Structure 1
């Protein structure tokens, strides 16, 4: 893989979280953890390539979180359920709420790694063409939240990536600063149009020669020029 998969582990067992974080990091994955579904839902979930999700947790269950992500958030991030319950009904419930795989506890780390790699590989193969935005050597993989120049991954912040993806999806169309603010920044964050300008300036530098494709026009906003 020419990107580092970002995985979120959601489990209320501290020991298990630490074991998974240590071992999966050793396998080359970038790992974040959350002790509950409620905590996980406060995180930028769209930035992850896969979620390892415990089923039985205090408060919101893994099934409820998955159902919420699919129906309310409309997120298609792959989900692998981790659970001590392995009956046929449990498996069917997991798949019905949008799970991609199901690992029954106790499990080996090797098994988890194999399942993760299989899901990620399947995602790469089955990606719809619309998830990949290209402009010569600049490529933006929307589903994987990654951007590349000549196959080298760019180190973009979440805001920079979202702005670039938005502009490339709307090539030739000017998007106002206010519209960018409304779509990229959450309602509870106090920001101004200057924040857009600053992020655009940084983005232009990071995408190097392709930065000239981002055009600014007074009174109109920004546009990714074809």
Structure 2
């Protein structure tokens, strides 16, 4: 079933490329250009995520967030704001937002925040999350990984790293994307954190021996999970 996302953003220069990026990720996207339209659409239809600009015309994003949260407590809310004062962020979270991103934002970071919010909300909606590829089975609900049927114990970040790679099997992921999603900080790109975790993960899944590796390094860019 396609995940539905409501994007409430009145700036066409932001809304159009963001809607396209979300669609490329496989989400079904609806765009609302005013607070009134966003509130009506969110209450009338079923969405997993609301990406909400704080400065919407007609009805402020904070009020939209409060009313949506009161009526639809299960929907995840990611707030966009051009305001940089810390108090604005606090007010937004108090209004019911799950996370916020300041403008201008980097697209890969926003996509990572989107995936993280949807992933966190999935268990509450009863959606089982099991990934099975390349002889590896990852059960996100049970936090269990098996390789060719044998249980493998992974540390928390190793588990999240493997899950992110498997969620995008066959796709080249940049170092920045991985760091933003798994560590929540793409500014770690100059450190050895990712490389060390990749090395540990390869060793634990038996990927450090033999001619074929499931986790492929693309030098200077990032990593890709190959199922075959």
Which category of TM-score, normalised to the shorter sequence, fits these structures?
0.5 to 0.7
TM-score by length of 2: 0.52
Which secondary structure does the structure 2 equivalent of 1:47 belong to?
A: coil
Shift of 1:87: 2.0
- In structure 1, the partner of 2:114 is 116
**Structure 1 spans left out of the alignment, 5+ residues:** 133-226
1:107 aligns with 2:105: yes
Shift of 1:116: 0.6
Match of 1:18 among 5, 10, 16: 16
Shift of 1:91: 1.2
Shift of 1:23: 1.3
Which secondary structure does the structure 2 equivalent of 1:18 belong to?
A: helix
1:50 aligns with 2:49: yes
8 A Cα contact 2:6 2:42, kept in partner: no
- In structure 1, the partner of 2:30 is 32
**Structure 2 spans left out of the alignment, 5+ residues:** 129-228
Which secondary structure does the structure 2 equivalent of 1:32 belong to?
A: strand
8 A Cα contact 2:3 2:47, kept in partner: yes
CA distance in structure 2 between the partners assigned to 1:10 and 1:128 by the alignment: 23
Size of the aligned set, in residue pairs, is 127
TM-score by length of 1: 0.52
CA distance in structure 2 between the partners assigned to 1:31 and 1:58 by the alignment: 20
Runs of 4+ with deviation above 4 angstroms: none
Alpha-carbon distance change, 4 to 105 in structure 1, aligned in 2, over 3 angstroms:
same
CA distance in structure 1 between the partners assigned to 2:20 and 2:32 by the alignment: 14
Shift of 1:86: 2.7
